[in-house]
Amino acid sequence: MTAPELIPTIGMEVHLHLKTRTKMFCACPVRYDVRPNSCVCPVCLGMPGVLPVMNGRAVELAVRMALALGCTIPGYAKWDRKHYYYPDLPKNYQISEYDQPLGLGGHLDVETGAGVSRIGITRVHLEEDAGKLMHAEDGGNYSVVDLNRTGTPLLEVVSEPDIHSAEEARAYAEALRQLAVYLGVGDCNMQLGQMRCEPNISLRIGTGSDGKPRYTPISEIKNLNSFRSVERAVAFEIARHRDACAEDPKGYTLERLGKSTRGWLDDQETTFLQRSKEEAHDYRYFPEPDLAPFVPEAAWVEGIRAAVPELPRPRRQRFVRDYGLPQYDAGVLTADREVADFFEKVATATGDPKTASNWMMQDVMRVLNERKIGIADLGLAPERLADLVGLVTAGTINRNTGTEVFGKMLAGGRSAREIVEAENLAQTSDEGELQAIADRVIAENPGPADDFRGGKEKALGRLIGQAMKATAGKANPQVLREVFIRKLRG
Amino acid sequence: MAATDMTACRMREALRARDLSAADATAACLDAIERLNPQVKAFLSVDAPAAHARAAEIDRRLDAGDPVGLLAGVPVAVKDNMCTADGQTTTCGSRILEHWRAPYNAHVVERLLAEGAVIVGKTNLDEFAMGSSTENSAFGATCNPWDLARVPGGSSGGSAAAVAARLVPLALGSDTGGSIRQPAALCGVVGMKPTYGRVSRYGLVAFASSLDQIGPFGRTVADAALLLQATAGHDARDSTSVPEPVPDYLAGLEEPVAPLRIGVPRQFFGEGLDAEVEQAVREALAVYERLGAELVEVDLPHATDYAIAAYYIVAPSEASSNLARYDGVHYGYRSADHKDMIDMYMRSRSQGFGDEVKRRIMIGTYALSAGYYDAYYKKALRVRRLIRRDFDQAFEKVDCLMGPTTPTAAFRMGEKTADPLTMYLSDVYTASANLAAIAGISIPCGFTAAGLPVGLQILSGVFTEDRLLRIARMYEHEVDWASRTPPVCEVPA
């Protein structure tokens, strides 16, 4: 008998902080850079007598994300209370959406080395985040609680179990992050806890005698806060399930062991059991009596749908199709919405998307990567870059000088033209002047000149190089080239 | 006339005419509290210096002719489950909040202060408003001013007794299943539960969020109308408060409702109704008939037995959730000796809550548990809709419904504490109004042979408080129950 084929079957729950000014149910600001317990009020502290008031902006962002994921927005969503006791949850219940969430049934296309796969989205719902509990660092028998995060609007996106590898799990999380950032729904800074991933892993063992698929027990890994840990933790669990399955093929099943919750130790690269099936909470969900159900008007939803920007994947395909960009370049330029917007402005202003793309890829992206900044912090408007590109295209300066001018534009507030004029960088295209230089270079470099005459094309490069040196880089290389060819072959 | 004998409306006129100073009005109330509260035990806390200072400030404003509010200089008591940021505790009658001082004012407290009221103190209640006698208070029971051996009703027993004993002309209570109307009936005062959403719950410590509603106590219908006027209206901090305009409740109060069709629900005169109570209520109905009203027998098939059953699922379920926050972590009572976190939770809650609160937390926790939710909570919500439909259908035919507020007059201390189910039946006529979210009022309609007050309950549709008050006033105009003084007040000074 051959061993059954084991197919990893993975669903993912992702929590995202929404980019709102204030918390989900009170007016406290959402801040990450302030001292503990400084952004709190009676409402988020869960004081006796307080009541929640829904943050309309959070709902709008959640609906935007749901629409971008292709979800339907039911005409009725309601709030529920989910109960569990923990000191970071002052009310000892979390306001969430249990059985009637605001978004249902969408998908997200994900790319890996193996190709593109479509991951189903089960549901999208809103809830409030809990605070942070920190155990005594001095080894003392106490913990401290920071409730600044309590009540931060939290979007939960639950996928179908359509993910089949660790690589795909990571790609899914990355694609979801890109989408949320693209839409302005969240910043998704994982170090700040603005995005947390919880994969549910099981292996499909094959088919039982009843014809239905059989699975290994589900393990849910809690609170993964980097893409790397998502990939590694999933890979670890897949391997652990394989081993357990090999050891006890009959017993290691979902039917017998159910679902357990596990934690991930990043430094040890291993998971550990947090809660078994028997210890699972009964959350005692019931409808939140302090909040009215959410009944969005169709026109309001359509308004949000209309404002959803073009998404990264379709935009990339359009860049390839309409601008003739290579797949790779289109991918880089659409990864960030602001970069893509910037590029399109330069492309439109210059009327030359391919050249604009070269400038973006070679000059702009290099600086962004070196300085680790976003394009908004570049200090250069796309129209000004377009002016520079125009100077090169028109032959006023050559391409290398262009890169030099680009650097100077970032350093100061001057325009490309001002820099070129002030520093006398305009290239020499005057044939008479370049002929004199060419004559001198040929006289001084008889070897390469003879080589070229003898048919060695490469020798021309050396001659042009010498001439560029003689003009301090200002000669128009195109004109120079023609002059040399005429002189040596004509 | 002594200030404590004045109705709030009369006192208000005297204050505006400067025939009475706020300082004197407040001093008279504080004096009465000092004399009588040791017997009645209506107040849990009284801040005399703050009340004096506040009264002096109101006097200055009145003397200067500055604009003052509806209640300028009128002493008011507040049930101790409404948050006051004045440094007094907000205990909810519970050990678990014995020393808790709210960092903010409830919406109604803000309203009272904006209208110039002098808040003299906080009144006793059944712990977290769970009970019908105030015997569940962790700080001792309140006594009925008409017979100190009897209960004042509950859970707003402290507020009802304070108004009945003329310690204050006005007090706020909260009503989840009858907690204003039942003690109003037992103490011989007017008590009203407005429509759900009429008064903001912000700052009212939640018992059962979908049922709780704040309302007024006064010795007359006009006084209740005055306090409702001061506290009603939309509040953006309470998503369940309704942006319905607030009518002028006092303006048309003396105008009778005519024609008036009164529905008399068969189910409100069934088994368990005391004969003397029934007689007093029938006599009140006869008064309305004399005034030209038409009495119509109506059927509310779900409004009594089913109401109590549904109520004791919905209210404890919400309570089990609302009271989860009292865990000893962030505020309130924390057990001193505990082994670990779970132990701290368990000991703090075991020691901090009284028996009735624990009983309801357990009922509610059970009803919301996985596998039981559909059979209990969900079913109770369906019953709730049926009750609402009963009322909607009735209000298509009649302007209001009338019946006894309670099955019996005030019962003896300890009489029902051993049997929670008997105690729960004290709310048999009142709980349905909370489940249906409609308005209700209890007004005095006579006394038993033993000298105990009897209450007439009048119910009307959502946001019809103005008409409800006018209907109540029609009867009050014909009788003089409000001038009777409870024996405790007649003790020589």
The chain B residue lying nearest A294, using CA atoms, is B239
pLDDT of residue A479: 84
In chain A, what percentage of residues exceed pLDDT 70? 99
- Is the pLDDT at B307 greater than 70? The verdict is yes
pLDDT of residue A484: 87
Angle at A147 between CA A143 and CA A152, to 5 degrees: 140
Residues of B with Cβ-Cβ distance to A93 under 8 angstroms: 321, 324
**Beta bridge mates, A155:** A16, A126
Local confidence band at A1 (pLDDT 50, 70, 90 cut-offs) = very low
Distance from CA of A220 to the nearest CA of B (A): 21
Which of A85, A284, A286 comes nearest B345 by C-beta?
A85
Task: Pick the residue of A25, A26, A50 with the most B CBs within 10 A to test the interface with B by mutation.
Answer: A50
Residues of A with Cβ-Cβ distance to B321 under 8 angstroms: 81, 83, 93, 284, 286
Local confidence band at A490 (pLDDT 50, 70, 90 cut-offs) = low
- The SS3 call for residue B86 is coil
The one-character DSSP state at A428 is B
Q: What is the DSSP string of B218-251?
A: ESSHHHHHHHHHHH-S--TT-TTS--PPPP-TTT
Is B373 close to A286, i.e. CB distance below 8 A?
Answer: yes
Query: How many beta-carbon contacts under 8 Å exist across A and B?
Result: 97
User: What is the distance between the alpha carbons of residues B417 and B430, in angstroms, rounded to a whole number?
Assistant: 20
- Is the pLDDT at B186 greater than 60? The verdict is yes
- Is the pLDDT at A36 greater than 90? The verdict is yes
Query: Are the C-beta atoms of B433 and B193 separated by less than 8 Å?
Result: yes
- Is the pLDDT at B18 greater than 50? The verdict is yes
How many CA atoms does the CB half-sphere of B174 hold within 13 Å?
37
pLDDT of residue A384: 93
Q: What predicted TM-score, i.e. pTM, was given to this entire model?
A: 0.90
In this structure, are strands A115-128 and A286-287 parallel, antiparallel, or unpaired? unpaired
**Beta bridge mates, B458:** B402, B441
Is A286 close to B206, i.e. CB distance below 8 A?
Answer: no
Which of A93, A286, A292 comes nearest B239 by C-beta?
A292
User: What is the distance between the alpha carbons of residues A109 and A156, in angstroms, rounded to a whole number?
Assistant: 18
Q: What is the DSSP string of A102-136?
A: SEEEEEEEEEETTEEEEEEEEEEEEEE---EEEE-
Counting DSSP H helices and E strands in chain A, the numbers are 17, 14
Q: Write the single-letter amino acid at B477.
A: H
pLDDT tens for each residue of A413-448: 889 989 988 888 887 778 888 888 888 888 888 888
Is A49 close to B106, i.e. CB distance below 8 A?
Answer: yes
Which phi-psi region, left, alpha or beta, contains residue B274 (left: φ > 0; alpha: ψ -120 to 50)? Answer: beta
pLDDT tens for each residue of A199-234: 999 999 988 788 889 999 999 999 999 999 999 999
Is B239 close to A45, i.e. CB distance below 8 A?
Answer: no
In this structure, are strands B261-265 and B294-298 parallel, antiparallel, or unpaired? parallel
- What is the rounded average pLDDT of the residues A22-27? 98
Distance from CA of A341 to the nearest CA of B (A): 40
Specify the CATH class of B3-253+466-490 in words: alpha beta
- Is the pLDDT at B491 greater than 70? The verdict is no
Which of A46, A47, A83 comes nearest B103 by C-beta?
A47
Q: What is the DSSP string of B7-49?
A: -HHHHHHHHHTTSS-HHHHHHHHHHHHHHHHHHH--EEEE-HH
Is B102 close to A49, i.e. CB distance below 8 A?
Answer: yes
The ipTM, to two decimals, is: 0.96
Query: Are the C-beta atoms of B217 and B172 separated by less than 8 Å?
Result: yes
Place of tokens 């009858």: B178
Residues of B with Cβ-Cβ distance to A132 under 8 angstroms: none
CA B447 to chain centre: 20
Residue B266, class by beta-carbon neighbours within 10 Å (0-12 exposed, 13-18 middle, 19+ buried)?
middle
- Is the pLDDT at A249 greater than 90? The verdict is no
| For residue B194, cis peptide bond before it (omega within 30 degrees of 0) | no
Is A51 close to B104, i.e. CB distance below 8 A?
Answer: no
Catalytic residues of B: 79, 155, 179
| For residue B174, cis peptide bond before it (omega within 30 degrees of 0) | no
CA nearest A117: which of A182, A71, A165, A76?
A165
- What is the rounded average pLDDT of the residues A100-126? 95
CA nearest A290: which of A91, A94, A127, A53?
A53
Report chain A residues touching chain B, CB-CB < 8 A: 42, 45-54, 81, 83, 85, 87, 90-93, 145, 282, 284-286, 289-292
Place of tokens 């009050």: B476
User: What is the distance between the alpha carbons of residues A153 and B181, in angstroms, rounded to a whole number?
Assistant: 40
Which of B97, B202, B330 comes nearest A51 by C-beta?
B202
Distance from CA of B113 to the nearest CA of A (A): 18
- The SS3 call for residue A225 is coil
pLDDT tens for each residue of B319-371: 999 999 999 999 999 999 889 999 999 999 999 999 999 999 999 999 999 88
φ, ψ at B316 (rounded to 5°):
-65, -35
pLDDT tens for each residue of A379-410: 899 999 999 999 998 888 888 889 999 999 99
**Beta bridge mates, B123:** B43, B79
CA nearest A14: which of A192, A167, A199, A153?
A199
User: What is the distance between the alpha carbons of residues A150 and A449, in angstroms, rounded to a whole number?
Assistant: 76
Distance from CA of B72 to the nearest CA of A (A): 26
- What is the rounded average pLDDT of the residues B410-435? 92
pLDDT of residue B254: 97
Query: Are the C-beta atoms of A219 and A260 separated by less than 8 Å?
Result: yes
Q: Which residues contact A477 (CB under 8 A, 6 or more apart)?
A: A398, A464, A468
**Beta bridge mates, A213:** A207
Q: Which two tokens stand for residue B470?
A: 């006018």
CA nearest A200: which of A229, A160, A245?
A160
pLDDT tens for each residue of A323-369: 999 999 999 999 999 999 999 999 999 999 999 999 999 999 999 99
Annotated domain spans of chain B: 3-253+466-490
Which phi-psi region, left, alpha or beta, contains residue A193 (left: φ > 0; alpha: ψ -120 to 50)? Answer: left
Is B83 close to A48, i.e. CB distance below 8 A?
Answer: yes
- Is the pLDDT at B492 greater than 80? The verdict is no
- Is the pLDDT at B59 greater than 90? The verdict is yes
Residues of B with Cβ-Cβ distance to A290 under 8 angstroms: 206, 209, 239-240
- Is the pLDDT at B207 greater than 80? The verdict is yes
- Is the pLDDT at A144 greater than 60? The verdict is yes
Is A285 close to B373, i.e. CB distance below 8 A?
Answer: yes
Which of A49, A53, A145 comes nearest B206 by C-beta?
A49
- What is the rounded average pLDDT of the residues A130-139? 87
Q: Which domains does chain A have, with CATH numbers?
A: 7-299 (no CATH), 310-422 (no CATH), 431-489 (1.10.10.410)
The one-character DSSP state at B3 is G
CA A106 to chain centre: 19
Residues of A with Cβ-Cβ distance to B344 under 8 angstroms: none
pLDDT tens for each residue of B233-282: 999 999 999 999 999 999 999 999 999 999 999 999 988 999 999 999 99
- What is the rounded average pLDDT of the residues B152-179? 98
Q: Write the single-letter amino acid at B171.
A: A
Is B325 close to A91, i.e. CB distance below 8 A?
Answer: yes
CA A16 to chain centre: 13
